[in-house]
Amino acid sequence: MNTTKTLTFIFGLNIQNHAADEVFVYNSDRLIKMYEKIGQPNKKTIYCRGVIDEPSIVLEPTHNKQSFVDEKEYHFLFKNMGEYIREH
């Protein structure tokens, strides 16, 4: 049986305090990563705050719930988010 899962992105711009620009990553309503920066540090900074809530079938958390098993998929997700935010 296939069930549809929702991948939720909530983003906003922070024009007052650029030091507080970060993204929080949740996995099935559980905080896995916090204060993650979007984009590469040597490129133009993206001033954005965000929350990502992704189901367990998208990225599987490690046994201690502090990271993800497939780091390549995690970095691919953040790379694509950075490109999307730069376009908009």
Residue 71 resides in a domain: yes
Are β-strands 23-27 and 30-36 bridged in parallel, bridged antiparallel, or unpaired? Answer: antiparallel
Residue 75 resides in a domain: yes
Spatial strand order in the sheet of 23-27: 8-13, 48-54, 23-27, 30-36
Residue 74 resides in a domain: yes
Residue 22 structural domain: 10-87
Q: What is the pLDDT of residue 23?
A: 82
Task: Compute the average pLDDT of residues 58-70.
Answer: 84
The residue among 48 and 80 whose pLDDT is bigger is: 80
Mapped onto helix, strand or coil, the DSSP state of residue 72 is helix
Residue 4 resides in a domain: no
Residue 3 resides in a domain: no
Residue 83 resides in a domain: yes
Residue 1 resides in a domain: no
Tell whether the model's pLDDT for residue 77 goes beyond 70. yes
Nearest-5° Cα angle at 63, 40 to 78 = 20
Cα(23)–Cα(62) distance, rounded to whole angstroms?
A: 19
User: Do the Cβ atoms of 59 and 74 come closer than 8 Å?
Assistant: yes
The residues, any chain, with a CB within 8 Å of residue 32's CB and separated by 6 or more, are: 25, 26, 61, 65, 66, 67, 68
Q: What is the pLDDT of residue 40?
A: 57
Residues 11-40 pLDDT 10s: 887 677 666 667 888 888 888 888 887 765
Q: How many domains does the chain contain in total?
A: 1
Q: What is the pLDDT of residue 43?
A: 58
